[in-house]
Amino acid sequence: MWSAPRGTHDEVTNMDHQLVIFDLGDEYYGIDIAAVEGIIKMQGITAVPHAPEFVEGVINLRGEVLPVIDLRKRFGLPPHEAAHETRIVVVEMDGGKAGAIVDDVSEVLRVPEEAIEPPSPIVAGAESGMIMGIAKVDDRLIILLDMVRMLSAEEQAAMQAMTVPA
């Protein structure tokens, strides 16, 4: 399911998962650090006509135009004004890159394999294949996401069409 990051200088056992943890509302989410290209402050986003509702638009990041997804909209959460802590997490999504707007990036965390449980079939239905598991860390539950499964094949193709050199 998850694979430990390779090539890091820190000693990581095969049973540990290194995750970037972020907040959306009152919930914690995590993605494998190997999928994260970078974390940037919120910036101006250019709207794109006829984009899916959860796509805020595009940004120019070091000469590359990247689509930006609002994860609150994607998950059906209430809107939230961008704050000082709001970040765009740049992620690798099946050969392409995209930005994901999150309320805050809180930490990079090592989670042992035994702290991760598969999602319940009730929670991870056909539409929620993006949920890879639930990590129990101290007194919190962290929902682990697969960014590649965040979008359908059609949505990924539409996002790829937005990614062009600036």
Q: Report yes or no: 38 and 90 within 8 Å, Cβ to Cβ.
A: yes
Let me know if residue 117 belongs to a domain: yes
Nearest 10 degrees: Cα torsion 125, 131, 133, 136: -110
Location of structure tokens 């590359």: 64
Asked if residue 7 belongs to a domain, the reply is no
Does residue 121 lie within any of the structural domains? Answer: yes
Tokens of 13: 């056992």
Domain count, the chain: 1
**Sheet containing strand 104-112, strands side by side:** 104-112, 16-24, 27-32, 140-145, 131-137, 116-117
Q: Mean pLDDT, to the nearest integer, of 129-137?
A: 89
CATH number at residue 24: 2.40.50.180
Question: Is 35 within a domain?
Answer: yes
This prediction's pTM: 0.81
* pLDDT band, very low/low/confident/very high, at 147 (cuts 50, 70, 90): confident
* Cα distance between residue 161 and residue 98, in whole Å: 12
80-93 pLDDT tens trace:
888 999 999 999 87
Rg (CA), the chain: 16
Q: 49: Cβ–Cβ under 8 A, 6 or more apart, which residues?
A: none
User: What domain range is 26 assigned to?
Assistant: 16-162
Name the phi and psi angles at 161, rounded to 5. Answer: -65, -25
The answer to whether residue 6 scores a pLDDT higher than 50 is: no
